[in-house]
């Protein structure tokens, strides 16, 4: 019997990417619905991006509908002004600010052109060793700027995204590539996937999907519960491209989340900036297409806490044990949740059966043509 597990309103502890820095650097407040509440993002005069609870502690006005005045965000209701540290900076019509006038200020991080916010139900600060790494090359002339997209997913939960880290077989059936090697490593707050794959020639015949001769080498690493960096090298028809893709999300409610993805690519010698940016857009579009394939599955599937597995399904239970560390209090994180774990899926049997299926599909397609 399927066990769907308990229905929890708790949101994962860790860094969550809210989007690109440049999105919030337009001199306006921005509302972000996340973690079962609403936040406001605004930039102060020193360039710092600040995140506060969106609803004013005075009478509940929505600060995201207010305006930025100096280094503060002004409520549209009574003009109470709140600094980036959460303190009430000014009440224009009052002789003094109440001593306890504060709102919640969220810890932020600006790195790699992204804005991150730290969520912790226990309201503890982020440990120094739990952070988002700086991406080597980003911001230099060798790499493009981010191509970026986002999508609200309703009726599903964040764990569905995480399960893909170990799900070798779905790459063949959903994303239409054939994995030739597949390995996972979990260690502390980091979970990684290493995969090599080939394009499926039978898909090329049926859909003109453009994967004939495609060779892909990929590493994908989650830094915490919601932010993944994916390095990919693609080769086809004598040409190759190297890109960094981002797959990240933040929860809106316990049953919805915002999925975000983007890409930058390394510029090849002699490649113009416009051509390189077009390639980055292509990378991001390809990743978006893959996500939309997943989304169609997520919309129709059930949440399963006790999946029935075969040998080639990968370490699903071990991944979920790793993921659980972000949903319990810090003092309840067990050694098993953060211990190093490595597993390599034996893809030999799957490749043999897939090759036979591909051959049959090609023969069938050729017979239809003739």
Q: Which CATH number fits domain 14-119: 2.102.10.10, 1.25.40.20, 3.30.750.24, 1.10.3720.10?
A: 2.102.10.10
pLDDT of residue 207: 42
pLDDT of residue 182: 98
Domain ranges of the chain: 14-119, 147-360
Tell me the longest C-alpha to C-alpha distance in the chain.
88
Query: Does the structure show a pLDDT above 50 at 149?
Result: yes
Average pLDDT over the chain, rounded to an integer: 92
pLDDT of residue 55: 98
Q: How far apart are CA 114 and CA 198, in angstroms?
A: 32
pLDDT tens, position by position, 265-304: 888 777 788 888 887 787 777 767 887 888 889 888 999 9
pLDDT of residue 189: 98
Q: How far apart are CA 85 and CA 103, in angstroms?
A: 9
Cα–Cα distances in Å, from 112 out to 147, 227, 347? 13, 12, 35
Mean local confidence (pLDDT), 167-189? 96
pLDDT of residue 211: 54
Among residues 164, 139, 137, 111, which one has the least CA distance to residue 293?
164
Angle at 118 between CA 116 and CA 119, to 5 degrees: 130
pLDDT tens, position by position, 314-370: 999 999 999 999 999 999 999 999 999 999 999 999 999 999 999 999 998 887 765
Among residues 314, 301, 368, 365, which one has the least CA distance to residue 341?
314
**DSSP code of residue 57:** T
Mean local confidence (pLDDT), 145-152? 92
Q: How far apart are CA 340 and CA 360, in angstroms?
A: 41
Fold of 147-360: Naphthalene 1,2-dioxygenase Alpha Subunit; Chain A, domain 1 (3.90.380)
pLDDT of residue 223: 98
Query: Does the structure show a pLDDT above 70 at 173?
Result: yes
Helix (H) or strand (E) holding 76: none
pLDDT confidence band for 209 (50 / 70 / 90): very low
Q: How far apart are CA 119 and CA 137, in angstroms?
A: 28
Q: Is 338 exposed, middle or buried (0-12, 13-18, 19+ CB in 10 A)?
A: middle
pLDDT tens, position by position, 219-274: 999 999 999 999 988 887 666 778 889 999 999 999 999 999 998 888 877 778 88
Q: How far apart are CA 339 and CA 325, in angstroms?
A: 11
pLDDT of residue 206: 46
> Which range scores top for mean pLDDT: 82-86, 147-151, 362-366?
82-86
Cα–Cα distances in Å, from 368 out to 77, 209, 216, 255, 363? 68, 18, 30, 45, 9
């Amino acid at each position: 019997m399927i066990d769907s597990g308990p229905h929890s309103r708790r949101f994962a502890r860790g860094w969550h990417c809210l989007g690109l820095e440049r999105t919030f650097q337009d001199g306006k407040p921005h509302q972000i619905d996340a973690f079962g509440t609403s936040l406001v993002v605004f930039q102060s005069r020193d360039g710092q991006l600040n995140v506060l609870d969106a609803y004013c502690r005075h009478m509940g006005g929505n600060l995201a509908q207010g305006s930025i005045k100096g280094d503060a965000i002004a409520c549209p209701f009574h003009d109470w002004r709140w600094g980036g540290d959460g303190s009430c900076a000014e009440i224009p019509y009052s002789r003094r600010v109440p001593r306890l006038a504060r709102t919640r200020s969220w810890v932020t991080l600006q790195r790699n052109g992204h804005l991150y916010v730290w969520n912790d139900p226990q309201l503890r600060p982020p440990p120094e060793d739990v952070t988002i790494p700086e991406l080597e090359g980003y911001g230099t002339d060798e790499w493009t700027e981010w191509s970026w997209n986002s999508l609200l997913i309703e009726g599903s939960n964040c764990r569905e995204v995480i399960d893909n880290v170990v799900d070798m077989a779905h790459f063949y059936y959903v994303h239409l590539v054939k994995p030739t090697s597949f390995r996972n490593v979990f260690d502390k707050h980091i979970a990684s996937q290493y995969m090599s794959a080939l394009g499926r020639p039978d898909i090329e015949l049926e859909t003109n999907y453009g994967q004939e001769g495609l060779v892909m080498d990929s590493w994908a690493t989650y830094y915490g519960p919601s932010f993944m960096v994916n390095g990919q090298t693609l080769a086809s028809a004598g040409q190759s491209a190297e890109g960094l893709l981002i797959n990240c999300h933040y929860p809106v409610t316990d049953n919805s989340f915002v999925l975000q993805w983007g890409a930058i690519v390394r510029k090849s010698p002699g490649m113009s900036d416009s051509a390189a940016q077009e390639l980055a857009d292509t990378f991001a579009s390809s990743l978006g297409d893959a996500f939309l394939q997943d989304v169609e599955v997520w919309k129709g599937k059930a949440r399963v806490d006790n999946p029935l597995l075969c040998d080639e399904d990968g370490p699903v239970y071990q991944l979920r044990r790793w993921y659980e560390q972000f949903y319990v209090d810090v003092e309840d994180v067990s050694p098993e949740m953060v211990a190093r774990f490595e597993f390599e899926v034996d893809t030999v049997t799957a490749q043999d059966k897939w090759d036979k299926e591909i051959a049959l599909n090609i023969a069938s397609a050729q017979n239809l043509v003739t």
